[in-house]
Amino acid sequence: QVQLVESGGGSVQAGGSLTLSCHASGLPYDTYCMGWFRQVPGQERERVAGIHTGGIHIYYADSVKGRFIMSQDNNKNTVYLHMNSLKTEDTAMYYCAADYRGASPLACAREADYTYWGQGTQVTVSS
């Protein structure tokens, strides 16, 4: 049974930082595209960062480039989203997702069609 469990959300003032964690278990393959998404009610879901667990290239949305850093610890089956210089517009429910697309990190450029999803963790940034 695949499980993605996010943690680390909370409330922070603008300009502050938070780190989200996503622990994956039960994934049937060795490497995956892992992504961090966010969604505000009534708006489209946005992928903010994506990585291939077998590579080092990370894709970032323009809205978070230079502020957010995605990292991974394969020994712990965990990916992280380090969020710095937070803005009120970063307020959203953040989700971790995984999808098997083979060995090529380039496959993780595609933002859509992730198979496995976590339950989400809320991030609220106040002014």
pLDDT at 28 over 90: no
Other CB atoms within 10 A of residue 22 CB: 26
Condensed to tens digits (0 to 9), the pLDDT of residues 65-85 reads 999 999 999 888 999 999 999
Condensed to tens digits (0 to 9), the pLDDT of residues 32-56 reads 999 999 999 999 999 999 999 987 7
pLDDT at 29 over 90: no
Q: How confident is the model at residue 6 (pLDDT cuts 50, 70, 90)?
A: very high
pLDDT at 91 over 90: yes
Determine the Cα–Cα distance for residues 95 and 11; give it in Å rounded to an integer. 16
What pLDDT score does 74 carry? 85
Determine the Cα–Cα distance for residues 100 and 108; give it in Å rounded to an integer. 9
What pLDDT score does 96 carry? 98
